[in-house]
Amino acid sequence: MDLPKEVRYRPYADWSDTEIETIQENVAKSPWHATYHIEPKTGLLNDPNGFSYFNGKFQLFYQNWPFGAAHGLKQWVHTESTDLVHFSETGITLEPDNANDSHGAYSGSAYQIGDKLFLFYTGNVRDENWVRNPLQIGAWMDKNGHIEKFKEVLIQQPQDVTEHFRDPQIFEYQNDFYAIVGAQNHEKQGFIKLYKAVDRDVYHWKFVGDLEFGGTGSEYMIECPNLVFVDGKPVLLYSPQGLDKVELSYDNIYPNTYKIYQSFDAEKPALLDGSPIFNLDYGFEAYATQGFNTPDGRALIVSWIGLPDVDYPTDKYDYQGAMSLVKELTLKNGKLYQYPVEAITSLRASEEIFVPKATTNNSYELELAFESDTLTELVLFADSRGRGLKITVDTQTGKITLDRSAAGKQYALDFGTSRSCTIDTGEIVEASIFIDKSIFEIFINKGEKVFTGRVFPTEQQTGIQINSGNPKGYYYNLNY
C-alpha cells in the first residue's frame, strides 16, 4: 500500500492508543487470517530475522512495520518455539530507537555467544536529505529477553558499495565467526562481502574479501544472503534483485535462489565447485529465506510468504505477509530437498481417506500419490462451479502447473496468474499440500520442488474438486 513517507516514518511513540486500536479492529475484520502460520499482529510482516537456537528454544523474529500494510519504519518482532511448529509472540521487539537505526532495524541474524544471543542487523540510517547510510550493528538479548544494543557500529559502509549494503548473516565455521553481507557496487551489480570476527570477538569484524560464489553480477542487489551447511556441503540461499531472466527463468518480481557447493574456502574467500543457480521455490511468493544450522547440525530455513513492492488483498485490513512453515534442508543425490520438520504431523487432528469435498475449513493437509502417465487436475479452494486454485499434475511430462486466476481476489496480475515447474527425476510420485485459509505450501516428492503462495478465496471457495485423474491418499484436518 502506498502511504506518505511522513506516515511510514512517524516515530512509534507518536501513535496514540486510539489509532492503534483502530488498526487492530481493522485487522480483526479480515476473512483470511491463517491458523497455523505466523502473521503479524498488525501491519506488515516481511523477512524472517534472527532464526537461531538459544535458551532451550528456537528463536525467530520477523521484520515488521506495525501501523499498516506498508514498508515503513521497521522493527524486529520476537517469537519462540520448542517444536518449530508452534511459535508464540513474546512481546519482545528490537525497535528502531537510536541514531544507529533511526530509519529502521533492518534484517539480520542471531547466534548464541556465551549465555546471550547476539543479534547482528542493519541499521537503516538516513540524513535530512534522505541520503541513506547503512550500518551493520549489534545487540545482546539475555535469557530474560532483555535487549541491549551495542553503542559502536560493527561494520561501516565500505567505499566500493552504494547505499545498498545490508542483512548480515553470522555463522560459525572452523571455530571462527564469519558474516556475509549483501551489497551493491557502483556499477549497480549485486555482490556479497565476507567478514570475520577477530579472535571470535563480535565487537571486531575484519573484512576478508568479496565472496566468490559464481555470481555473474546480472542482479543489481543481493538481499538476505545466507550460508548453511547441508551434510557438510555449503548451500548459499539469496535474493538477487533484478537477476537476468536469461540466467534463470522466474516469474515473481524478485527471485529467491540457491547454489550448492562442494567446499568453502574462508580465506580466499570462495565457495567452490558450485552448481548452477536454482529457484528455491516455484510458487507466487517466497522471499528473503533465512537459514541456520542447529546445534545438532540440521539446516533449517523459513521464508517470507510475500514479496517486496507487491500489494495484497489484506492491505485494506492493515496487515500483510506471513511466515512459511519451517523447512529442513537435505541433499539427495546432490539435489536440495526442502520439507517441513517432522513435528508438523502433530497438527493432524483427524485422518481421512482422500476424496473430493464440497466444503472444508481451508485448514488441512493432503498427502497425495499420482499414477504414472496420467493428467490430474485438482481444484483447491473450489466453489460449487469448480473455480479455485487449479493444480495440474502431468506424470507423463513431469510438469506441474498452478493457476490461481479463478481463486478469489486477484492481485499482482503483472506477474501472471500461473506458475509451473518440471520434476527432474522424471517421475512425480507424490505431493504434500498444506492449506491455511489463504496460504498454500506444496511439496512435490517430499520437497524436490516447492510451490509457496497465497490465494484470497471468496466465502464459497472451500471445496476440493477433481476434474481428471485419480490421486490417492489422505486428508488431515489440522489444529493448531
Nearer CB in complex with ligand FRU: 38/423: 38
- Return the closest-CA partner of residue 221 out of 190, 248, 252: 190
For 24, list phi and psi in degrees, rounded to 5: -60, -40
Binders of ligand FRU among residues 292 to 321 (CB under 6 A) are 308
Question: Could you tell me the smallest distance in angstroms from the CB atom of residue 308 to ligand FRU?
Answer: 5
Judged by CB under 6 A, how many residues of this single chain contact ligand FRU? 13
Nearer CB in complex with ligand FRU: 303/314: 303
**Contact pattern for ligand FRU over residues 158 through 187, marking x by CB under 6 A:** --------xx--------------------
Quote the cell numbers at residue 368: 497425495
Question: Could you tell me the smallest distance in angstroms from the CB atom of residue 288 to ligand FRU?
Answer: 4
Nearer CB in complex with ligand FRU: 240/340: 240
Whole-angstrom distance, CA of residue 249 vs CA of residue 258: 13
Question: Could you tell me the smallest distance in angstroms from the CB atom of residue 81 to ligand FRU?
Answer: 22
Q: Which of 2, 14, 47, 101 is catalytic?
A: 47
Selected from 62, 106, 120, 381, the binder of ligand FRU by CB under 6 A is 106
Q: What is the DSSP string of 298-353?
A: -EEEEEEES-TT---GGGGGTEE-EEPPPEEEEEETTEEEEEE-GGGGGGEEEEEE
| Buried residues in 365-393 as b, exposed as e (16+ CB within 10 A) | bbbbebeeeeebbbbbbbbeeebbbbbbb
Q: Give yes or no for residue 219 binding ligand FRU (CB under 6 A).
A: no
Nearer CB in complex with ligand FRU: 248/253: 253
Catalytic residue status for 47: yes
Other C-beta atoms within 10 Å of 349: how many? 12
Quote the cell numbers at residue 325: 512453515
Selected from 94, 224, 379, 478, the binder of ligand FRU by CB under 6 A is 224
- Return the closest-CA partner of residue 224 out of 148, 304, 114, 160: 304
Quote the cell numbers at residue 145: 529477553
Selected from 161, 288, 299, 300, the binder of ligand FRU by CB under 6 A is 288
Selected from 39, 47, 285, 394, the binder of ligand FRU by CB under 6 A is 47
Whole-angstrom distance, CA of residue 63 vs CA of residue 303: 12
Selected from 79, 93, 122, 257, the binder of ligand FRU by CB under 6 A is 122
**Contact pattern for ligand FRU over residues 51 through 90, marking x by CB under 6 A:** ------------x----------x----------------
Burial class (CB in 10 A: 0-12, 13-18, 19+), 354: middle
What residues are labeled active site?
A: 47
Interacting residues toward ligand FRU by CB under 6 A:
46-47, 63, 74, 106-107, 122, 166-167, 223-224, 288, 308
